[in-house]
Structure 1
Amino acid sequence: MDIRCTSLEEVRQGIDEIDRSLVSLLAKRGRLVTQAAAFKKTTDDVRAPARVEQVIRKVRELANEAGGSAEVVEQVYRAMISAFITEELATHAKLANAPSAP
C-alpha cells in the first residue's frame, strides 16, 4: 500500500512511525545476535562471510519484491551486519573469557 502524503509534515510523521518500528525490530534482531554468539566456537564463525552474502542475496530479493531499491537495502544491511558483527565479537570474547561453570 502506497502512502500518499499531502504535506512535508505528514511525510515526516510517517517516517517517524516507521523509524519507531525499525528501531524496535533492530533491538529484537540484536538480542538474537547476542544469543547466537553462545553457539559459535570461533571468531570466524561470528564473521561468517558466506552467511553474510546469503543474507544480502535474500534481502535484495525481498527489496525487489517490495518495490524497493535493492542497492539501498544492500547498503543498509551491510552496515547493519557489520555493526552487529562487532557487537557479537565483543559478546563472543566475553563468553570465551568467562569462567566455566563447575
Structure 2
Amino acid sequence: MTDIKTPEQATSLNDVRVGIDDIDRRIIEALALRMRYVERASCFKASAADIPAPERVAAMLPERRKWANAAGIDGNFVIELYERIIPWYIARQIDYWGNHRSGQT
C-alpha cells in the first residue's frame, strides 16, 4: 500500500492523487455506513409515511452548515450537497422499509 501523505507532506502530484483517492474511499465508506443507520432507522418508524421527517431535515441542515463553516469549507456547498443526498437516502429507506418492514407490527 502506498503511504498516504498529508497535503503539506506531498511532494508530487501522485502524492496528492493518492491522498485524494484515500479520502474519496473513506467518504464512500462513510456514506455506506450512513446508509446502514438510515436502514436501521426504519425499525423505529411505524410506516413508510413517517420516513421523510421534514422537521428532522430542517433541524439538521443549519447544523451541517455550521460544521462546514467551522471546518473551513463553504457551508452553502455542504447544504447543496445534503439537499441532493437526503432525498436519495429517504427513497432508499422507503424501499428498505417496504422490503423489510411492511406487514410487521
- TM bucket by the smaller chain? 0.7 to 0.9
- Alpha-carbon distance in 1 for matches of 2:84, 2:72: 21
Deviations 1:34-68 (A, max 9, x none): 01012112333211111112121111000011111
Does residue 12 in structure 1 map to residue 17 in structure 2? yes
Q: Per-residue deviation at 1:23? A: 1.1
State the partner residue of 2:7: 3
Q: TM-score, normalised by structure 1?
A: 0.83
1:62 to 67, 77, 80: 67
1:96 to 87, 93, 102: 102
Does residue 29 in structure 1 map to residue 37 in structure 2? no
Unpaired runs of 5+ residues, structure 2, are: 1-5
**Aligned-residue CA RMSD in angstroms?**
1.9
Identity %: 34
State the partner residue of 1:79: 84
- Alpha-carbon distance in 1 for matches of 2:87, 2:15: 33
Show structure 1 runs of 4+ deviating over 3 A. 4-8
User: Which structure's relative contact order is higher, taking Cα pairs within 8 Å and 6+ residues apart?
Assistant: 1
